[in-house]
Amino acid sequence: MARSIAATSAGSNRNRGVLMLAAVFGILSAMLMFAFLNSRGGSGSSSVNSALDAAAGADSVVVVARNIQVGDKITSDMLTMKSLPSAALLPGHAVKAEDLIGKVATAPMFTGEQVVDAKVTTFVGQNTLAYKVPDGMRAVSLQVPNEGWITGGLPQPGDRVDFLAIVSLTRTDPLTGQEKPDVVSGVIAQNVEVLAMSQKLVKTVPKVDSAVPSGASTPAAVATDAKPLDDAATYEKAISVTLALPPDLAAKVSLVDAMKKDVGQWRLLVRQKGDTSELTGATQWTYDDLFSTTKKK
């Protein structure tokens, strides 16, 4: 029995010795591989990554080195090159950084993002109102008699509002011939973009290059990112507000604006950021609705 125990112990010691020897050889192999890769002119990790990228069919593309805002002119320090798998490449991606230098960003771009054709333009100085009007819309300016009409002058160019009209007319009773007040309040335009407060325009940069991205009907369709000129600005002393409206609604809004103050007034109802929903329920009210009550059963 003692001889059997001794044999087992000796076998266990031999196994441990083999494992330790294998571990030493493994460490030596890793060190030799690291030294070999360094001798090839790069770090071990970058060489391994390059080999993996090549196996995955990677391409070198231009990416953003630091955040870029709308209207920024692109400089060399904003860009860098990165190797990405072919399957991860976006349509219209740029492959040469030098082709982008001097162009202008039409949309925000963030660190690590691929630079695509739809977000840059050769735009130079088209800062007039005509470049800010969305497709199918018209710019119409309204005179502001009171800061309360424009929500205290707090809306920024680029905000979305509803246009509320308050019209006080008179109607004649066909039976008695007596004139009665006919006061109506109603929302006549919804989800309207504020293009300007006084002469402060919404900050957008249109895509004016001849090459239009797939799916865009015109170059102007690319300019969809609006940003206030000054996040801290208020316009309580603004004497005008410019809205983007379809032609028919522009005519209706102008009719209200042309009325005398004691006959027709209007208010801008500012929407929450991102709210594009249509109003549900009633959009027109009279004095009868003001004090309406539900009858008790």
Q: What residues does 180 pair with on adjacent strands?
A: 171
Q: Are 74 and 105 in contact (CB under 8 A)?
A: yes
Q: What mean pLDDT comes out for the span 34-53?
A: 54
Q: What is the pLDDT of residue 257?
A: 94
d(CA 277, CA 282): 15
At residue 283, the pLDDT reads 87
Is the pLDDT score of 35 beyond 60? yes
Find the helix or strand (DSSP H, E) in which 149 lies: none
With 0.85 as the threshold, say if the pTM is over it.
Answer: no
Per-residue pLDDT of 88-99, as tens digits, reads: 999 999 999 999
Highest mean pLDDT among 55-69, 129-143, 153-167, 169-183: 153-167
pLDDT at 134: 87
For 144-271, list the strands marked E by DSSP: 160-172, 179-197, 200-201, 240-245, 264-270
| CB neighbour class for 268 (10 Å; exposed up to 12, middle 13-18, buried from 19) | buried
Coil vs helix vs strand at 197: strand
Question: How many angstroms separate the CA atoms of 140 and 26, rounded?
Answer: 77
Give the separation between CA 180 and CA 193, rounded to whole angstroms.
36
94 class by beta-carbon count within 10 Å (0-12 exposed, 13-18 middle, 19+ buried)? buried
Report the candidate in 202, 207, 228, 206 with the shortest Cα–Cα distance to residue 139.
202
Q: What is the mean pLDDT of residues 73-80?
A: 93
Mean per-residue pLDDT, 43-52 = 49
Where residue 71 falls (left for φ over 0; alpha for ψ -120 to 50; beta otherwise) is left
In the chain, pLDDT over 70 holds for what percent of residues? 71
What 8-state DSSP symbol labels residue 109?
A: B
Distances (CA, A) of 120 to 28, 83, 87, 212, 223: 51, 21, 23, 11, 11
Given this model, what pLDDT does residue 9 score? 53
Mean pLDDT over each residue of the chain, to the nearest integer: 78
